[in-house]
Structure 1
Amino acid sequence: MIKNTIPPVAKKLPVQLEKHNDTRVDDYFWMNERDSPEVLSHLKEENRYYDEMTAHTKAFQAQLFKEMKGRIKEDDASVPYKHNGYWYYRRFETGKDYPLYCRKEGSLDAPEIIVFDNNEMADGHSYFSQASYSVSEDNTIAAYGIDTVSRRQYTIRFKNLVTEEILNTEIKNTTGGAVWANDNKTVYYSRKDEETLRSNQIFKHTLGTDPSEDVLVYQEDDETFYTYVFKSKSKKYILIGSDSTMTSEFRFASAARGTTDFKVFQERTRGLEYAVSHYDDAFYIQTNKDKATNFKVMRTPENQTAMQYWEDLIPHREDTLLEDVEIFKKYLVISERSNGLNKIRIKSWDDRVDYYLPFDNETYDAYPTTNIDFDTHILRYAYNALNTPASVIDFNMETQEKTILKEQEILGGNFSKDNYKMERSWAPAQDGAKIPISIVYHKDTVLDGNAPLLQYAYGSYGSTIDPSFSSIRLSLLDRGFIYAIAHIRGGEYLGRKWYEDGKLLKKKNTFTDFIDVSKFLIAQNYTSSKHLYAYGGSAGGLLIGAVINMAPELYNGVIAAVPFVDVVTTMLDDTIPLTTGEYDEWGNPNDKEYYDYMKSYSPYDNAFAKAYPNILVTTGYHDSQVQYWEPAKWVAKLRKNNTSNNQIIFQCNMDAGHGGASGRFEALKEVAQDYAFLLDLEGITK
């Protein structure tokens, strides 16, 4: 890596931030002023420095991009699914970045109808995203959401599928989804608060009317909740959900026509979480009621929805997390997780059938996919593993026969899953817990402590990172890298308690777990500190920031993507998107106990003088979840306090948001940049 280029030096304008009689000094608070000339100039200088520091890898980046793109079947298509008389699917065309959404009437042999061509729609935009679209029950009108800024503020539009006319109606500042009533003229949608971007209102729109006349159906006034709307699989009800991190509430109304008369299903009770499905004359509730930490399934008559009427159907189990349910006419399908592994359980309503789909790998990823129809005995699910490309499978729940509909093709001619070894290990944590690790590497990689290893984790919101396949990752594995997923606390890999033990006042378990996994991988001769790398994004970027403050000597390099690193300041600012809804995840720093705890691990507040590893930080200027200024300020402070000669580089994509570049190939270019950074540190240049 080039060492003689001078990094940008951000000016210091100290601002005193006071809370609970404690004063923090933020030298770079001025970067919070979006669109100011000084901020834009600084970000431009950071991007210039990044380009200079990585100029010697540009050819290698191009090679990596070509290699990763070469494994992808460009003219690929999803497996069609049938809905309301039409077969729906998505396909790509060679050389094009965006998908075409298509359907066929009645039969797969029928002529193709292109509903949306995102390549045409994206033309002229540096960023483009279409939210999922929904079609009226008479199959004539499609509602769809478009974002061309990357702030996740979608504009809903309508297309007449008979005439192919785009209607004049535009509904702005929404989450992108629209839910049809059964009258084919009414849609419900979520609108966002303009400042915080919290989805706080549900509106009803009638086709042919001006959006200014839309009727407010529900408003969520509690700033720690967000709201959304959906239709039951039975098509009988429209449901409005309100969720916070640890509390749920639903309202429901007949989907027959555009009503505004919604009834509370079960009023919110702090700590009570529940989700609702409907079938026949009953509702089915997935809930933690009665201290069911890992959740259970209950049932209640559709005219008696308060929780005193709920009765157990699938009881709570201490060793099994109940993740989801899928309802069919004859079967209930339950997605579970036991000892970290996905399980799919199939149970008939008459209790005569009750079995699990067989999976025999040591570690894998399996889950139900698109199952829209009630009256079918076919379950569609997906399966993959760290060394096994994804398959889409139809499973006959009556005969227990499976049909593989599609296997992911890995082009290039030399891929074989037998070339890659997959393992699951358990690292001892500081407090005696055992932390699962999913590991994959090329069979020719020697485990003598000298192999480079990329360790990844997320560790927040109960989000579980499953050991899934990536054709892109082969570019690391084929060059001798080991890849390890640390299933740390803060996720739900080992059940709900695994999550609870990595949030709020136990958040530091997330960071120490990651460090303990690193120490274990070194002790087991997978790698060494000279060859160990770490990656995390968003809340996973917070993880990386905390880890390199606590144990910088363990890593040769790290990548922090869109990192949430200025925890205290952000959580004290309730005008920033997502803040108030995060209190139950991180704590509310207006409470001194949470303030002190956050301050003790916040990466920005703890970036003191120390020998940091090589660091690459990436962000998007339009990021609505982690504002660009968090990583920008963090990088400036890291550079000021870094006592090593290692490089700290920062790239801000001025056209993107939290998810990075749009388009399947533009996104690959960003991965190529990340991989080139890691490989360059290893002296691997081709």
Structure 2
Amino acid sequence: MISPRAPRADRRPVVRSHHGRSFTDDYEWLRDKSSPDVVAHLEAENEWTAHETSHLAPLADAIFDEIKSRTLETDLSVPVRKGDHWYFTRTVEGSSYGVFCRAPVASPDDWVPPAVDPAQTLPGEEVLLDANVEAEGHDFFSLGTFDVSPDGRSLLWGVDTEGDERYTLRIVDLASRAVSDVDVIPNTAAGAMFSPDGAFVFYCTVDDAWRPDTVWRHAVGSSSGADVTVFTEPDDRFWVGVGRTRSRKYIVVEVGSKITSEVHLLDAADPMGEFAVVWPRVEGVEYDVEHVVLAGEDRLLITHNDGAENFEVVDVAAADPRGLRDVVVPASTDTRIDGVDAFAGHVVVSYRRDALTRVGILPLSGGIAAGGVLRVGEIVGYGALTELEFDEPLFDVGVSSNPEWTQPTLRLGFTSFVTPSTVLSVDVATRETTVLKRMPVLGGYRSEDYAQARDWATAADGTRVPISLVWKPGAVDESAPAPTLLYGYGSYEASMDPSFSIARLSLLDRGILFAIAHVRGGGELGRHWYDDGKTLTKRNTFTDFVAVGEHLVASGRSRPDGLVAEGRSAGGLLVGAAVNLAPDLFAGVLAGVPFVDALTSILDPELPLTVIEWDEWGDPLHDPAVYDYMSSYSPYENVRSDVGYPPILAVTSLNDTRVLYVEPAKWVAKLREVGAPALLKIEMQAGHGGVSGRYDAWRERAFEYAWVIDTATRGARDDLESSAPVAPTLDA
């Protein structure tokens, strides 16, 4: 049998010219996934990766078994009250997807979710949708919409079976279980919903570039051919979405680019009426809207950055939203306000400070003592904001599912590196906090066996970059460098907050140190942190990541031959650029659905979502300075022939509409051209989120972690082999 060898993609030069600059792209032909040559090449890449990683199978199987054995496979979520029912999701051992259920509440005052044995059913429990049944016969399955009509009689759900994030909507009568053969709406975006009266469905569709651009109104019981366009956004930089205020008083159309927002409201009592703009869009101004009622008057709470870099919250009259603004939560230089959730009697403010998420409660009838860090203005009807406190050095907390406008409790989600995902209930009146459920971790897990800490690196320009760390002291020799997985993202103001992972325990238990580099371009330290890592400051994202890696080495926590970098999507761009800058710093790079051919993609307005991205990266098509800047860091264009690259594993999906498979395919081809040990693993039936179904997802993560462990510990193994005594030979 002939052993397989690394595929070599044909070099078919295509010259790309802009602004008097030319770039010869030898592998652009790989973009045509309908080509038999391309499919054959991708299949050969998969065969080569399987061959090169075959020795990892026992370790990957062991990690998969560990994930499975630590997971309570038959379980259910904490029930959430909506109307007259408790809604929850069951998982069943051996089944890949959730079973969506509900049971009636005991009484109108029943606000305490029932404690349920996962093996038992609740009185009156009914199955709304068994995703396992719906997924039968499909290699991929994803729910993009799940909404029950306000009267509880109908279910609206949307399914994608390709991975391209286009969903087919259907409506089910929950009494008869009949699926309407009329209400079938193909090719929608995620997030459709019933109108508050249940007579209509509002949904979005996408244009040819996969941009949600149009909101539609569908009359329940009619053909989708009669659906009415209620809003279309012609500007390619903006996407649209449809939702409702928590009060259900208004239907909301949100329009947004990366830097500019516009909100349109419609009184839900008149779903066939006209939407009205709250604030007309102003370039660079972002805002969102919530509804409150004070002294019987409809008011709007608007979280915005108009003259407030880290955002502030103002109160305006719903009847005159462009009139007088009263500041409810003022802007702060050290606190980034993320948004508010309004209830009948209080408002919940979400924000972040010191690279950690925070939650505060603001009563709508003033008079309680002020607490926390944020203060509110002297406005009739608003009290003082009280911050909820938590006693861990690192954590992530946020508002969870709270669908009822008048509920007396607040549901939160809490987690940390060492605390499994926890559902908390806060009594709004007393601030008493109750743990409703903590994710079970089987096998004797104890949080005290693990440690988490915050560290800081110093970037080349003197900026301090936060690092979040977790490890198992009993598995790591803290007097010596440890094999390390360094994770980063650094785009879109997204924050990589410390959270628990069952799968990660398999790394920690084997002595791997896990670290998150909170680099610029993310949102961990406020809006300036984002602004300093986008467009013409984007290189800060990459140099911050390198600085964090160098700090981990200099501080003795890690060493270059044990430091593996991981990034996914825009994080793939991060690690791809970082390994070009400092190839000797890393033992390996794991790049998931990586955005590594950034300039080619952002130059082409016909590609999915490209024009929307110009606010994030700049517009290289029309601006030579942006072209040159992106050309200086785009990983594919900057593969070096003068250095030795560490092992690189790129994982992607054929049907990804956000980062096309061709980017990592081209990147790996070019890396291999310069002798880099690069591998490509491509899922032929999946999208941007990878494989669907929890067991397939566990197996995929187990494979990736097996590769990380093998790569991060190779240096230590080499040390042991080189220091072992040499057995004497007969000649000696």
Q: Normalising by structure 2, report the TM-score.
A: 0.91
Q: How many pairs were matched up? A: 675
The amino acid that maps onto 1:309 is: L
Corresponding residue of 1:309: 324
Corresponding residue of 1:333: 348
Classify the secondary structure of the residue corresponding to 1:337: strand
> Is the counterpart of residue 163 in structure 1 residue 176 in structure 2?
yes
1:106, distance to aligned residue in structure 2 (A): 2.4
Corresponding residue of 2:48: 49
The amino acid that maps onto 2:27 is: Y
Corresponding residue of 2:97: 98
**1:60-99 correspondence to structure 2 within 5 Å:** 60-99=59-98
Classify the secondary structure of the residue corresponding to 2:638: coil
Corresponding residue of 1:383: 414
Instruction: Determine which of 274, 285, 288 is the counterpart of 2:305.
Output: 288
Residue ranges of structure 2 left out of the alignment (5+ in a row): 107-113, 115-121, 369-384, 718-732
**1:445-484 correspondence to structure 2 within 5 Å:** 445-484=476-515
> Is the counterpart of residue 549 in structure 1 residue 564 in structure 2?
no
Classify the secondary structure of the residue corresponding to 1:451: coil
The amino acid that maps onto 2:137 is: G
The amino acid that maps onto 2:447 is: K
The amino acid that maps onto 1:657 is: G
Instruction: Determine which of 630, 633, 646 is the counterpart of 1:601.
Output: 633
**Are the counterparts in 1 of residues 246 and 341 from structure 2 also a CA contact under 8 Å?**
no
**1:258-273 correspondence to structure 2 within 5 Å:** 258-273=271-286
> Is the counterpart of residue 419 in structure 1 residue 449 in structure 2?
yes
**1:232-251 correspondence to structure 2 within 5 Å:** 232-251=245-264
Corresponding residue of 2:186: 172
The amino acid that maps onto 2:135 is: A
Classify the secondary structure of the residue corresponding to 1:370: coil
1:5, distance to aligned residue in structure 2 (A): 5.5
**Counterparts of 2:670 and 2:696, CA distance in 1:** 30
**Are the counterparts in 1 of residues 512 and 709 from structure 2 also a CA contact under 8 Å?**
no
Classify the secondary structure of the residue corresponding to 1:580: helix
Structure 1 window deviating more from structure 2 (425-434 vs 646-655): it is: 646-655
> Is the counterpart of residue 430 in structure 1 residue 463 in structure 2?
no
The amino acid that maps onto 1:237 is: Y
1:580, distance to aligned residue in structure 2 (A): 0.7
1:248, distance to aligned residue in structure 2 (A): 0.2
Corresponding residue of 1:37: 36
1:236, distance to aligned residue in structure 2 (A): 1.2
Instruction: Determine which of 378, 401, 406 is the counterpart of 2:432.
Output: 401
**Counterparts of 1:12 and 1:419, CA distance in 2:** 53
**Counterparts of 1:395 and 1:208, CA distance in 2:** 41
> Is the counterpart of residue 492 in structure 1 residue 506 in structure 2?
no
**Counterparts of 2:415 and 2:599, CA distance in 1:** 39
**Counterparts of 1:418 and 1:118, CA distance in 2:** 37
1:309, distance to aligned residue in structure 2 (A): 3.0
**Are the counterparts in 1 of residues 206 and 212 from structure 2 also a CA contact under 8 Å?**
yes
The amino acid that maps onto 2:345 is: K
**Are the counterparts in 1 of residues 357 and 397 from structure 2 also a CA contact under 8 Å?**
yes
1:257, distance to aligned residue in structure 2 (A): 3.9
Corresponding residue of 1:121: 134
Instruction: Determine which of 217, 235, 251 is the counterpart of 2:230.
Output: 217
Structure of greater Rg? 2
**Counterparts of 1:362 and 1:248, CA distance in 2:** 35
Residue ranges of structure 1 left out of the alignment (5+ in a row): none
**Counterparts of 2:408 and 2:221, CA distance in 1:** 40
The amino acid that maps onto 1:592 is: P
**Are the counterparts in 2 of residues 217 and 260 from structure 1 also a CA contact under 8 Å?**
no
**Counterparts of 2:398 and 2:555, CA distance in 1:** 32
**1:517-556 correspondence to structure 2 within 5 Å:** 517-556=548-587
Instruction: Determine which of 109, 112, 116 is the counterpart of 2:125.
Output: 112
- CA gap 1:506/1:96 in 2 versus in 1, 3 angstroms: same
Corresponding residue of 2:315: 299
1:449, distance to aligned residue in structure 2 (A): 4.0
Runs of 4+ residues deviating >6 angstroms: none
1:182, distance to aligned residue in structure 2 (A): 2.8
Corresponding residue of 1:580: 611
Instruction: String of CA shifts for 1:429-479, please: whole Å, max 9, x gaps.
Output: 111111000001011211344310000011000000001111110000000
Instruction: String of CA shifts for 1:518-554, please: whole Å, max 9, x gaps.
Output: 0000011111001011000000000011001100000
1:260, distance to aligned residue in structure 2 (A): 4.2
The amino acid that maps onto 1:204 is: R
Corresponding residue of 2:382: none
**Are the counterparts in 2 of residues 229 and 239 from structure 1 also a CA contact under 8 Å?**
yes
The amino acid that maps onto 1:606 is: N
> Is the counterpart of residue 191 in structure 1 residue 205 in structure 2?
yes
Instruction: String of CA shifts for 1:195-225, please: whole Å, max 9, x gaps.
Output: 2111000010001211111001110000000
The amino acid that maps onto 2:691 is: A
**Counterparts of 1:34 and 1:258, CA distance in 2:** 43
**Counterparts of 2:594 and 2:158, CA distance in 1:** 27
**Counterparts of 1:541 and 1:313, CA distance in 2:** 40
**Identical counterparts, % of pairs:** 39
**Counterparts of 1:563 and 1:494, CA distance in 2:** 25
Classify the secondary structure of the residue corresponding to 1:151: coil
Classify the secondary structure of the residue corresponding to 1:131: strand
1:178, distance to aligned residue in structure 2 (A): 1.9
> Is the counterpart of residue 360 in structure 1 residue 391 in structure 2?
yes
1:376, distance to aligned residue in structure 2 (A): 2.6
Instruction: String of CA shifts for 1:109-145, please: whole Å, max 9, x gaps.
Output: 5311100000000000000001231111211111111
Instruction: String of CA shifts for 1:539-587, please: whole Å, max 9, x gaps.
Output: 0000011001100000011100100011111011111111111110000
Instruction: String of CA shifts for 1:81-115, please: whole Å, max 9, x gaps.
Output: 11111110111011110000111122355311100
**Counterparts of 2:454 and 2:693, CA distance in 1:** 33
1:377, distance to aligned residue in structure 2 (A): 2.6
**Are the counterparts in 1 of residues 246 and 343 from structure 2 also a CA contact under 8 Å?**
no
> Is the counterpart of residue 322 in structure 1 residue 351 in structure 2?
no
Classify the secondary structure of the residue corresponding to 1:63: helix
